[in-house]
Amino acid sequence: MNTTILGYPRIGARRELKFATERYWAGKIDTAELESTAAELRRRTWTELRDAGLATIPSNTFSYYDQVLDTSVLVDAVPERYRPLRGLDRYFAMARGEQDVPALEMTKWFDTNYHYIVPELGPGTAFKLALGEECKPLAEYREAKALGIETRPVLVGPLTYLLLAKAEPGAPAGFHPLDLVDGLVEVYAELLERLSGAGTQWVQLDEPALVADRTPEELAVLARVYRRLGELPSRPRLLVATYFGTVGAEALRVLAATRVEGVGLDFVTAPGNLDALASVGGLPRRTVVAGVVDGRNVWRADQERAKATCAALLGLAGEVVVGTSCSLLHVPVDLDAETALDPAVRARLAFARQKVAEVVAVGRALREDVPAAAPAPAAAAGIDHRVRARLDMLGDARRGDRAARFAAQRAVLGLPPLATTTIGSFPQTGEIRRARAEHRAGRISGDAYTQAMKDEVAHVIALQEKLGLDVLVHGEPERNDMVQYFAEQLDGYAATEHGWVQSYGSRCVRPPILHSDVARPAPMTVEWATYAQSLTTKPVKGMLTGPVTMLAWSFVRDDQPLADTARQVALALHDEIHDLEAAGICIIQVDEPALRELLPLRRAEQAAYLDWAVAAFRLATSGVADSTQIHTHMCYSEFGEIIGAIGDLDADVTSVEAARSHMELVGDLRAAGYENGIGPGVYDIHSPRVPSAGEMEENLRRALQAIEPDRLWVNPDCGLKTRAYPETEAALRNLVAAARSVRETP
Ligand SMILES: Nc1nc2c(c(=O)[nH]1)N[C@@H](CNc1ccc(C(=O)N[C@@H](CCC(=O)N[C@@H](CCC(=O)N[C@@H](CCC(=O)O)C(=O)O)C(=O)O)C(=O)O)cc1)CN2
Ligand code: MET
Ligand SMILES: [Zn+2]
């Protein structure tokens, strides 16, 4: 039985790529050194996969920043403003921006916490294949081959690429990136011919866009793309990989009518793929890569079940290949690196390396027709009867009337129109992280660590007063991450030491593992908030992470509905909010940046999700005084489908990422009936670039066309933790100046 995986983490078991890239950006190493680190990581991955006994090994799963950006560079979809730059400098400028060239947009990759760089296309985009060393899939294929390893290059499929792209600013109204399909397909055709010339046997074209609802026009494009590629006289065999959901029968029928040799289907998220396959009469002469090992969650596979799924497929496909449900990019590298996990939890886990072994084991069990070696993973989980009883008793979660709240808050807070604030975090400096690492390693005491963080809070408060911000934050220095920090204090969650997963570019997260019932043994943030508030007469916002985001950015138990788990987290937050309120904190922000992320890809499933997601937020924020102002924050999103839900959260103020999408959102929110405060991010914090006061002022004036000044808040588009102090201070100074200037001359 053939075995494969759809992709592998590229950041390195010890985040080697992250550190090398950041050193390159800081000018501490040169291109050659960065490239040699990258080559070493690729070599290790390929040899490890080969040595694990995997039959077919993917390549071109490496990236310096993002695979969609790689594709843009590969097909020369490089907007004019980056053209004066070359090579890696151009590549990183597209990803991160430079002082006078803003970055491309970045957004969520489907329903994951991975972010891709959005291609910007226009009628004038002329696709052209990058050649030589710049032709990355070919270069990587040859590099692996030189190591004696035959690989299957992985490409973003043309349809998915175009569907993820956006029209460049100023493109004619009727233009859609899909209009460019013919030109793009010719570039893929040329690439396939070149790969074939180099000896490539199989190419994987990732088309996860096929698991969302697609129009007949889009399906027609799908047909056009794969008919053309299928007809090429000399080409590798084509595996069209889908993942994250159920492929529609229509899309499968389209693929079946082309010469595509293989299709990848996700049987973990979407057992319905079995029916979809059956409904088109199977794919009798094709290869089906059966995604039976979960590429997105960390639970050990039930190998007997995986084997049974593959066995059920045998009658529906010409060949069945045991595989992962998606790329392993979304899970940590190696469970063996974890030494401190509770053994009972650990026994239930598998990370990327272990998942490769699971794929190989299922393949062997099928081939040799023996039972799969490992027993089914032990069932969950600690039950907390008290939490369950409280949740059973809770009634309707609601707050007072909007107008009454607005008046009560105005009386208590007395804020100016266009109130200025930030999203919560201030720069996480090397010193802060070092202090935390020292504390973790036992080299400094808990008291010394706490003191160092308090000093940082005092510094952040003083800085905000100096800058003249209206609503202050404590800066979150004590938090390693906005989810992990809370997870470490809640029962039912476990944290990893090395379980890093790429979130975007060089940025990684260690998603905690939610394995049992969640409960809050003690207040989590009250001391930090009250300490910060004691240093200033201006209001300090308390800062919490909302229930949906606490799930979206964790690995969550799959033995009960997410909605039930969300209510447990919401109850813990509810208690925290009441403790903050009792301690005199008048403004509390409950971040839900991942509200959009968990939205099901299929429209039919979205309403049910939004119901429980909104209910969890409302449960968390229910019962506070009218005069307590609840904020929420969202970022990285196409907000279209959730715009109604944002209103239903009924936060008093919502700050949203809008800088890279030019304030359109304020009007959209109002049009959807949202009446509370809005803080559209007036500048993009993901880039070190410092926007001028004039630029931010322009954004504010645009926003004022859709909202009254006393409902408009002025803030960056996300937290400042990834920035350094010099640019942060400069940008915030400009932000305050912009707000003042608009207040003075409306
Ligand atoms: N979970 C999550 N998902 C999210 C976001 C988020 O904030 N959290 N934001 C959005 C964007 N994604 C982001 C993801 C990561 C980071 C980020 O800054 N990550 C940091 C790591 C953050 C962290 O956990 N830091 C820890 C551990 C730091 C660390 O590695 N320390 C070193 C030592 C460092 C030293 O000695 O200087 C070590 O232990 O080896 C801490 O502060 O304690 C990074 O990659 O650099 C930012 C945004 C969407 N998804
Ligand atoms: C990814 S949303 C970040 C919100 C958080 N309060 C911060 O400022 O970092
Ligand atoms: Zn944010």
Which CATH number is 576's domain given?
3.20.20.210
Kindly state the average pLDDT of the residues 78-88: 95
The span from the CA of 222 to the CA of 232, in Å, is: 16
CA-nearest residue for atom 30, ligand 1, is 433
Distance 371 CA to ligand 3 centre (A): 47
Is residue 100 over pLDDT 90? no
Q: Confirm whether 504 is domain-assigned.
A: yes
Binding-site annotation: residue ranges for Zn(2+)? 633, 635, 648, 657, 718
Phi and psi at 74, nearest 5°, equal: -60, -40
Binding-site annotation: residue ranges for L-methionine? 423-425, 476, 591
Q: Confirm whether 453 is domain-assigned.
A: yes
Q: Exposed, middle or buried: residue 369 (CB in 10 Å: 0-12, 13-18, 19+)?
A: exposed
Q: Confirm whether 182 is domain-assigned.
A: no
Q: Confirm whether 260 is domain-assigned.
A: no
Number of domains in the chain: 1
Contact yes or no for 351/333 (Cβ under 8 A):
yes
Provide the domain limits for residue 560.
385-744
Q: Which ligand lies nearest the alpha carbon of 115?
A: 1
Distance 538 CA to ligand 2 centre (A): 21
Query: Which region, left, alpha or beta, applies to residue 468 given φ > 0 means left and ψ of -120 to 50 means alpha?
Result: left
Distance 324 CA to ligand 3 centre (A): 31
Helix or strand holding residue 494 (H, E): strand 491-494
Is residue 635 over pLDDT 90? no
CA-nearest residue for atom 8, ligand 2, is 719
Cα 552–Cα 510–Cα 587 angle in degrees, nearest 5: 60
Is residue 375 over pLDDT 70? no
Is residue 672 over pLDDT 80? yes
Q: How far is CA 171 from CA 176, 180, 668, in A?
A: 9, 13, 20
Least confident of 204-218, 465-479, 666-680, 717-731: 666-680
Round the average pLDDT of the chain to a whole number and report it. 95
Binding-site annotation: residue ranges? 15-18, 108, 113, 423-425, 476, 507-508, 553, 591, 597, 633, 635, 648, 657, 718
Q: Confirm whether 357 is domain-assigned.
A: no
**How confident is the model at residue 660, as a pLDDT?**
60
Contact yes or no for 597/632 (Cβ under 8 A):
no
User: Tokens for 57?
Assistant: 């090994």
Q: Percent of the chain having pLDDT more than 90? A: 90
The complex scores an ipTM of: 0.95
CA-nearest residue for atom 24, ligand 1, is 480
The size of the chain, in residues, is 746
Q: Confirm whether 435 is domain-assigned.
A: yes
**How confident is the model at residue 607, as a pLDDT?**
96
Q: Confirm whether 329 is domain-assigned.
A: no
Q: Confirm whether 284 is domain-assigned.
A: no
User: Which among 476, 472, 450 has a CA at the least distance from the CA of 461?
Assistant: 472
**How confident is the model at residue 378, as a pLDDT?**
62
The span from the CA of 482 to the CA of 543, in Å, is: 9
pTM (two decimals): 0.95
Amino acid letter at 507? R
Non-local CB neighbours of 228 within 8 Å, separated by 6+ positions: 185, 189
- Which residues are catalytically annotated? 686
The span from the CA of 288 to the CA of 322, in Å, is: 9
Of residues 286 and 686, which shows the higher confidence score?
A: 286
Contact yes or no for 118/165 (Cβ under 8 A):
yes
Kindly state the average pLDDT of the residues 584-606: 96
